[in-house]
Amino acid sequence: MHPMNMAELNALLAETIERNEKAIVANHNLHSLYLFLKSSKVRAFYRDARWTHIDGMPIVALAKLYGYRVPRESRVTYADWTYSIAEVAAQKKWRLFYLGSAPGIAEAGAKILRNRFPGLQIATASGFFNTTGGSSENEDVLRKIAAFEPHVLMVGMGMPRQELWIHENFAALQANAILTAGAAMDYVAGAVPTPPRWAGKVGLEWAFRLGAEPKRLWHRYLVEPWTIVGAVVRDFFIKRFTGRSVTFNEE
């Protein structure tokens, strides 16, 4: 992972765009770590991402447990960063494309961002489509993105669907910075309640999200972390007795 604060991430986007490069900017939280442990396809995505920032205070705590000096400001979530991206995009005349959310939600969020940041060039498409490679719907989405020629492509289709889609379609994506954005536009549009911003700073944002969507998130917050705890304990024992870290089969 690459601990960066919001200003450093914005500078990273600017550098990628100015150099006319194409790069994946991923993120890690406890849910993505769980998926990373379970899926070789998810591990392949993270291996090919150029940068992976921290999206969760538990990751900051884990980093410190492993002896890394990671400040709280290195935790950057899309509930905050989306507005900053839109503001910088409006200033620098970047084209921003958001792929994700239910029909109508992304465009509602885009309208809010356009009103807040005059001059913002943003286009959207729903994340509810057939993502199978070669399908007519998938090809249509790729054509829409190519026609807009975005500098920043935010893919908010939930983990691991967004990661796998980016990985499978990376060669065809015509954008500079490609971001895994989760429910970013759902927060902007108000389709999902935004937890109090102080809660994230003290590691309690998960509790507010669980309270808002218990049926969807109970397994993520109440079951998955135990898998990660087990992996960390295993890693510490392996290091203690062999001097090595846990390795993964990448088949």
In this structure, what are the phi and psi dihedrals at residue 80, rounded to the nearest 5 degrees? -105, -45
**Could you please report the per-residue DSSP string of 136-158?**
HHHHHHHHHHHHH--SEEEEES-
Q: Which CATH architecture has domain 6-195?
A: 3-Layer(aba) Sandwich (3.40)
> Which of the four pLDDT bands, split at 50, 70 and 90, describes residue 235?
confident
pLDDT of residue 20: 98
pLDDT digits (tens, 9 = 90+) for 188-214: 999 987 877 777 777 778 777 778 888
E-strand ranges in 78-194 read: 95-100, 121-125, 152-156, 177-180
pLDDT digits (tens, 9 = 90+) for 41-54: 999 999 999 999 99
Amino acid at 113: L
Q: Identify the sign of the CA torsion 217, 223, 227, 229.
A: positive
> Which of the four pLDDT bands, split at 50, 70 and 90, describes residue 241?
confident
Please give the Cα distance from 145 to 156 (Å, whole number): 14
pLDDT digits (tens, 9 = 90+) for 80-133: 999 999 999 999 999 999 999 999 999 999 999 999 999 999 999 999 999 999
pLDDT digits (tens, 9 = 90+) for 120-177: 999 999 999 999 999 999 999 999 999 999 999 999 999 999 999 999 999 999 999 9
Question: Is the model more confident about 142 or about 223?
Answer: 142
Question: In the chain, what percentage of residues exceed pLDDT 70?
Answer: 98
DSSP-derived pairing of the beta strands 177-180 and 152-156 = parallel
In contact, 149 and 127? CB cutoff 8 Å: no
Work out the average pLDDT over 11-21.
Answer: 98
Question: In the chain, what percentage of residues exceed pLDDT 90?
Answer: 74
pLDDT of residue 103: 93
In contact, 208 and 194? CB cutoff 8 Å: no
Identify the H or E element spanning 53. strand 51-54
pLDDT of residue 251: 45
Question: Is the model more confident about 213 or about 246?
Answer: 213
pLDDT of residue 246: 66
For residue 190, give every residue at least 6 positions away whose Cβ sits within 8 Å of its Cβ, in sequence order, or none.
Answer: none
**Can the peptide bond before residue 160 be classed as cis, meaning omega within 30 degrees of 0?**
yes
pLDDT of residue 247: 66
pLDDT of residue 249: 56
